[in-house]
């Protein structure tokens, strides 16, 4: 896609986001205040962190279905470490490091064997869930009550409104966005996603970008799981079960193409806000939680259908050129 097309694409998505926002803003007073919006954004942190990681694997034309389960494992792990007497910052670092290592290994296996990551991660999705149940003894784990005050830092507000987690999400968005756009390793991820055969022919190693992509998706899923568990003071092994659905929706709404190689972090951010405005709005109107799953499912279906229609139209538009001899 040319720069112009990218901007046009993002503009359309921003307009759609604005429509969703305005639709709910007419009904909900909280949508008019800065603190209301900051609270909405705060509620998007977990999905946002996971969506960025998932989006990176999608850019590489792969997919990581295991993010929800991994978030649960890392959440339980972080709480277990804290309950075992470790300080919160160190526990977070160790838990997230474990997630990065796990994700990297998963990427290594997928890169070396060339296995279909969608199918392979169905296996790890269920295996990790089992692991979360085992390390939690099939129960919620909690931070001991005397130490709960250590988590007060999460309740602070910077600049009057932004929560620490919102700031972490913004930092992650900026860093990953810069990494993908301006570093060789980041461009390699786009390269193996946009045309793996061409990338390989041009001498791009498949292993490094794959390991980086899956390490990022694992690490960010772990970061999301650990941060939101620590903030709550507890983690449940069966938690985060709808996280994957939400994160895919944010990515697809944000224009990350399932075929790989197309999309950017700014798009994910817009997709995330669209999803958040919709789901937050549905929830604020008093709908029960399962109606939110219906709303997310419907939004994801819409995103899939629209993306498919664009893809088909674009292919139809490109057909005259594909009559050239080298086309298959």
Partner 1 sequence: MISRILRAGILPDDSMSDTDAQALFKRRRNMVVILLAILLVIVAGAITTPSFLTVENLLIVIRAASITGILALGMSYITISGNLFALSGEELAILSACIFAFLMRAEYGLFTSLVATLLFAAACGAIQGGIISYGADPIITTLAFGGLFRGIASLVTNNKNILLGTTAAEWLGTARPLGIPTQSWAFIFLTAFAWFVLQKTRFGRQLLLTGANREAARATGLRVGQASLVALILFAVCCGLAGIFAAAQFGLAVANLFTGLNIDVVAAVLVGGISLRGGQGSPIQAALGAIFIALLQNFMLLHSFTTGERMLVVGCLVALATLGFHMLQRRRA
Q: Which positions lie near partner 1, rule CB under 8 A?
A: 63, 65, 109, 113-116, 118-120, 122-134, 136, 138, 237, 242, 244-245, 248-249, 252, 258, 288, 290-298, 300-301, 304-305, 308, 311-312
Distance of CA 195 to the CA centre of its chain: 23
Shortest distance in whole angstroms from residue 292 CB to partner 1? 8
CA 134, CA 288: separation in Å to the nearest integer?
A: 31
Quote the CA–CA distance of 153 and 164 in Å, as a whole number.
8
* Smallest distance, partner 1 to C-beta of residue 207, A: 16
Least distance to partner 1, CB of residue 185, Å: 26
Contact 63, 218 (CB under 8 A): no
Q: How many residues does the chain have?
A: 328
For residue 139, how far is the Cα from the chain centroid? 26
Nearer of residues 129 and 276 to partner 1, judged by Cβ: 129
> 95 or 247: whose CB is closer to partner 1?
247
CB of 150 to partner 1, least distance (A): 28
Nearer of residues 245 and 266 to partner 1, judged by Cβ = 245
- Tokens for 99, please give them: 């997630």
What is the CB-side half-sphere exposure of residue 214 using CA atoms within 13 A? Answer: 28
Q: What is the DSSP letter of 162?
A: B
Nearer to partner 1, 148 or 305 (CB): 305
Q: Which is nearer to partner 1, 42 or 62 (CB)?
A: 62
- Report, in Å, the least distance between residue 300 CB and partner 1: 4
Between 134 and 148, name the residue whose CB sits nearer to partner 1. 134
Q: Which residues have a Cβ under 8 Å from the Cβ of 13 and sit 6 or more positions away?
A: 253, 254, 255, 267, 270, 271, 274
Residue 68 to residue 170: CA distance in whole angstroms: 21
CB of 164 to partner 1, least distance (A): 30
């Amino acid at each position: 896609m040319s720069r112009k097309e990218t901007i046009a694409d993002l503009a359309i998505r921003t307009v759609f986001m604005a429509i969703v926002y305005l639709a709910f803003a007419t009904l909900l007073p909280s949508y008019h205040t800065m603190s209301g919006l900051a609270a909405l954004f705060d509620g998007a942190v977990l999905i946002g962190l996971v969506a960025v990681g998932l989006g990176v694997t999608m850019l590489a034309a792969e997919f990581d279905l295991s993010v929800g389960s991994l978030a649960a494992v890392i959440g339980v792990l972080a709480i277990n470490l804290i309950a075992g007497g470790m300080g919160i910052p160190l526990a977070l670092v160790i838990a997230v490091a474990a997630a990065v290592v796990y994700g990297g290994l998963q990427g290594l296996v997928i890169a070396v064997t060339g296995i279909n990551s969608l199918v392979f991660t169905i296996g790890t999705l269920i295996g990790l869930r089992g692991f979360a149940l085992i390390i939690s003894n099939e129960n919620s784990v909690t931070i001991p009550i005397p130490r709960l005050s250590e988590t007060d830092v999460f309740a602070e507000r910077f600049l009057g409104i932004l929560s620490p987690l919102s700031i972490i999400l913004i930092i992650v968005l900026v860093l990953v966005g810069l990494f993908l756009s301006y570093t060789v390793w980041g461009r390699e991820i786009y390269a193996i996603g946009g045309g793996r055969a061409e990338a390989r022919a041009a001498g791009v190693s498949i292993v490094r970008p794959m390991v980086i992509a899956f390490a990022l998706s694992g690490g960010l899923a772990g970061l999301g799981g650990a941060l939101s568990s620590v903030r709550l003071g507890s983690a449940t092994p069966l938690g985060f079960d709808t996280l994957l659905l939400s994160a895919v929706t944010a990515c697809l709404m944000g224009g990350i193409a399932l075929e790989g190689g197309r999309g950017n972090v700014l798009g994910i951010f817009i997709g995330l806000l669209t999803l958040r405005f919709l789901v937050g709005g549905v929830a604020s109107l008093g709908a029960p939680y399962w109606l939110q799953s219906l709303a997310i499912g419907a939004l994801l279906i819409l995103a899939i259908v629209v993306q498919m229609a664009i893809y088909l139209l674009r292919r139809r538009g490109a057909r005259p050129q594909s009559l050239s001899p080298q086309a298959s």
